[in-house]
Amino acid sequence: MDIEKVVIIPSKSRYECELERYGSEERARGKYLPQLWQNLQRGHVDQKKNLAKVKQYFYPHQIITDRINFTPALIEKYDAFVFLGGDNHFTYCSQIMLRYLQENPQKQKVVFGTVLDPRRSWGGQLNFNVDSFIDFFPRLQQDDFEIEKWTALEATVQKGKTFSSALAINHFLVGEKDREDMSRNYVYLNGKEIFPDKSSGILVAVGAGSGNGSWYDNVYFDRFQKTDVLCSQAEYARLFLTEHKSRSIATLRKEEVLVIHSSNDGEGIVSPDSLKERRIPFPMGAAAEIRISPTYLPVVRKV
């Protein structure tokens, strides 16, 4: 692969995001305990140092400084995309890539998950750090790499004549926006009603969303005292209620459809990968269909 066909999409540091949010360092600093603010500043410096290591191998136009510019037009121009940050940044960008591939199934693209600040980011889904990514360059140039086809989920929500859709690489949460409210849903898998109608929410997770430290892993281990980590390429999802003492669990397989009818009293949501900006309202009377997506996320594997 030509290195000039690679583009880097780094995340902003929390420090930068807070400056944008509050308009000045003085106002932002006033919202934090001094020790926490100092940690944000140190993290910002560390991230910029690591980003500088990567920048020296690329032209400026290959570094996308704000992910708002990660658009279908940009994806069209390049072959490989390095999501450089933490798990949330990787998830955010991966959803954009999934949507592009869903609409352009003939296109061949690959993504790298790369930790920008390993001291402060878990990076449970990310195969590379900055140094190992740079060391990988010779193999990338020689097309000597493997691609994992990560299973994804897709959902369609209908309320009256309005339809909304979403893609997820980890999980969907279906429930109330505010967790103190009881989630009320009627749940059907292949036409058969499953699960109690009241819960604190339904979690539907594929392999990428089942790893160590994930929401799925934490709830599952708490109840069953063992792990249930799925392969990222396994073509099925696991679903259960998020109560710690619930044993209500089922499997959603490829070609099957999970149908959920909302009877929520408050502000129900269908939340893809827990990204607030992409959740879909799910009020009383709405219906959601969730299935394994025929579109997979092509992730470069570190061997």
The pLDDT tens digits of the residues spanning 77-130 come to 999 999 999 999 999 999 999 999 999 999 999 999 999 998 877 778 899 999
Where does a domain end: 144, 173, 189?
144
Residues 111 and 181 in one domain: no
Residues 127 and 161 in one domain: no
Please compute the mean of the pLDDT values over residues 219-247 and round it to a whole number: 86
Residues 137 and 18 in one domain: yes
Residues 77 and 185 in one domain: no
* Whether 116 contacts 87, CB under 8 Å: no
Residues 177 and 99 in one domain: no
Residues 181 and 263 in one domain: yes
CA distance 25 to 18: 8
Overall number of domains in the chain: 2
The CA–CA distances, whole Å, from 257 to 154, 157, 217, 230, 252 equal 10, 13, 23, 19, 7
Range(s) of the domain holding residue 80 = 3-144
301 within a domain of the structure (yes/no): no
The CA–CA distances, whole Å, from 218 to 202, 228, 270 equal 14, 10, 20
Where does a domain end: 121, 144, 167?
144
CA torsion angle 192 196 197 203 (round to 10): -90
303 within a domain of the structure (yes/no): no
Question: Is the pLDDT score of 179 beyond 80?
Answer: no
CA torsion angle 124 126 127 133 (round to 10): -140
Residues 137 and 188 in one domain: no
Q: Of residues 221 and 154, which shows the higher confidence score?
A: 154
Query: Where does residue 77 rank: exposed (0-12), middle (13-18), buried (19+ CB within 10 A)?
Result: exposed
Q: DSSP letter at 229?
A: P
299 within a domain of the structure (yes/no): no
130-176 tens-digit pLDDT: 999 999 999 999 999 999 999 999 999 999 888 999 999 999 999 88
Q: What is the CA radius of gyration of the chain?
A: 20
Residues 51 and 121 in one domain: yes
Centroid of chain to Cα 108: 21
Where does a domain end: 77, 109, 144?
144
Average pLDDT of the chain is 92
Indicate the pLDDT class of residue 181, thresholds 50, 70 and 90: confident
Residues 137 and 249 in one domain: no
